[in-house]
Amino acid sequence: MPLTLFASRPPVIAALHLPDFALSRHRSVAWYEDYAVTNARVFAAAGIPWIKLQDQTRTAGPATPDTLALMASLGRLIRAEVPGLGLGIIIEAHDPVAALSVAHAAGADFVRLKVFVGGAMTAEGPRHGLGAAAVAYRAALGRPDIAILADVHDRTARPLSDEPQPFAANWAAKVGADGLIITGGSFADTLDRIAAVRKAVPGRPILIGGGVTEDNAAQALAASDGVIVSSALMRAGAGDDDILRWDADLCRRFMDAAGGA
């Protein structure tokens, strides 16, 4: 199992959200490059060890060729320009081949997959577990070093069946997820869910996928093996066309708080 992701302390992943490519065709590739590198440097300067390059292009089907090309090229650029950062990939489309292909091409360390086991109703319609396909494709690429982080009952969707979350977490671990992402409706709910999943799947790393702030960072990291954070670090009043979206001071303060875990 790839363990590099969980060896860094504190294990904080900042999500670098990209605009929806399908709705942003007026922007040049140079704009995306400036945006990605500028914000990646903010995270790195604050001491954040990992970022997750996050595509937000909504589609009912697989990822489109331009999404694959842009994501891979931006990932490679971040690797070259900010080499101290660990890198992860998430693709909005329900497409494990796309996420793993981009990670492979970009030299990324992990992917995040939202509906790994079971089924879920999402804003784009029903989606079914892609875990088996993801693990098989990773093996075909010969890249067992790319960690797979799997959401279990992602809070942005509704399960299509009634299995308890700890039961679904067991599914995810058995199918091949290297880490489990648990996020409840509130921070307290998240902590309760993590406690239940730990009993069901002892020894498997658990990350919190959202709702972590400067105020609860230490508590979150004491309860989990890592956190994913983004909105809590954003610049107030930043517009859609602003190159700089994340606040350097907020990032530093968050890492100061996380360091006490």
Whether the per-residue pLDDT at 4 is higher than 90: the answer is no
Which tokens sit at 226? 């890592």
Question: Would residue 245 count as lying in a domain?
Answer: yes
Amino acid at 255: M
**Closest by CA position to 14, among listed 78, 102, 96, 66:** 78
Whether the per-residue pLDDT at 1 is higher than 50: the answer is no
Q: What angle do CA 103, 78, 207 make, to 5 degrees?
A: 55
- Model confidence over 153-187: pLDDT tens digits? 999 899 999 999 999 999 999 999 999 999 999 99
Question: Would residue 195 count as lying in a domain?
Answer: yes
Whether the per-residue pLDDT at 247 is higher than 60: the answer is yes
pTM above 0.75, yes or no: yes
Helices assigned H by DSSP within 176-247: 187-200, 217-223
pLDDT of residue 89: 98
**Closest by CA position to 196, among listed 168, 159, 176:** 168
Q: How confident is the model at residue 261 (pLDDT cuts 50, 70, 90)?
A: low
Question: Would residue 86 count as lying in a domain?
Answer: yes
Whether the per-residue pLDDT at 210 is higher than 50: the answer is yes
Looking only at the bridges linking them, the beta strands covering 179-182 and 86-90 are unpaired
E strand or H helix at 13: strand 12-17
pLDDT of residue 26: 92
Q: Kindly state the percentage of the chain with pLDDT values over 70.
A: 98
**Integer angstrom CA distances of residue 6 from 36, 208, 219:** 24, 13, 17
Contact, 62 vs 95, CB < 8 A? yes
E strand or H helix at 111: strand 110-113
Contact, 49 vs 8, CB < 8 A? yes
- Model confidence over 103-162: pLDDT tens digits? 999 999 999 999 999 999 998 899 999 999 999 999 999 999 999 999 999 998 999 999
**What CATH number does the domain containing 240 carry?**
3.20.20.70
Contact, 258 vs 217, CB < 8 A? yes
Q: Kindly state the percentage of the chain with pLDDT values over 90.
A: 90
Question: Would residue 1 count as lying in a domain?
Answer: no
Question: Would residue 185 count as lying in a domain?
Answer: yes
Whether the per-residue pLDDT at 10 is higher than 90: the answer is no
Number of folded domains in the chain?
1
Q: Over range 199-219, report the average pLDDT.
A: 96
Q: How far apart are CA 228 and CA 226, in angstroms?
A: 7
Question: Would residue 167 count as lying in a domain?
Answer: yes
Q: Which of 5-14, 21-30, 33-42, 68-77 has the lowest mean pLDDT?
A: 5-14
Question: Would residue 111 count as lying in a domain?
Answer: yes
| Residue 236 structural domain | 9-258
Question: Would residue 211 count as lying in a domain?
Answer: yes
